[in-house]
């Protein structure tokens, strides 16, 4: 009986610690990694509606050798053009993800590879790095605020 009285509080403590860690993981860097991975799946599916759902209305996309693209309409135009290009593909991998102490802002950084055709039809293979800044919306979902790639 004495052992049982010791085991019950220990079991409750272990469950409490596990539940706290699970919640912290979903609010921290793992939540950013998950959002980043889900966004990649949407992009690879070439479903523009799913892709745009990851962006804030006022999002900015800073691409190599262009002026910043601001807002979902401009972002939709670029992704739609990419999706319409035969043989286009993209892959990325976040290497770092962090969330602010306040829990409402985070970022991921990593590397990407992509293939597309330029206006002359020449196939372009591109590798680079990226940083995405994520902001938690009022419903608690992580949304892209800024996407920067080089």
HEC profile of 26-94: HHCHHHHHHHHHHHHHHHHHCCHHHHHCCEEEEEEEECCCCCCEEHHHHHHHHHHHHHHCCCCEEEEEE
Structural domain spans, the chain = 2-149
The model's pTM? 0.79
Confidence of residue 27 (pLDDT cuts 50, 70, 90): confident
Task: Give the fold, CATH level 3, of 2-149.
Answer: Nuclear Transport Factor 2; Chain: A, (3.10.450)
Residue 72 has pLDDT above 80, yes or no: yes
């Amino acid at each position: 009986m004495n052992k049982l009285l010791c085991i019950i509080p220990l079991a409750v403590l272990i469950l409490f610690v596990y539940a706290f860690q699970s919640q912290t993981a979903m609010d921290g860097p793992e939540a950013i990694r998950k959002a980043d991975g889900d966004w990649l799946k949407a992009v690879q599916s070439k479903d523009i509606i799913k892709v745009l759902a990851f962006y804030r209305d006022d999002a900015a996309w800073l691409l190599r050798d262009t002026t910043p693209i601001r807002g979902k309409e401009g972002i939709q135009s670029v992704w739609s053009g990419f999706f319409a290009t035969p043989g286009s593909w993209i892959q990325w991998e976040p290497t770092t993800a962090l969330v602010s102490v306040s829990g409402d802002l985070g970022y991921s950084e990593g590397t990407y590879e992509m293939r597309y055709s330029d206006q002359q039809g020449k196939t372009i293979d591109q590798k680079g790095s990226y940083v995405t800044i994520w902001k938690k919306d009022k419903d608690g979902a992580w949304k892209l605020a800024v996407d920067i790639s080089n």
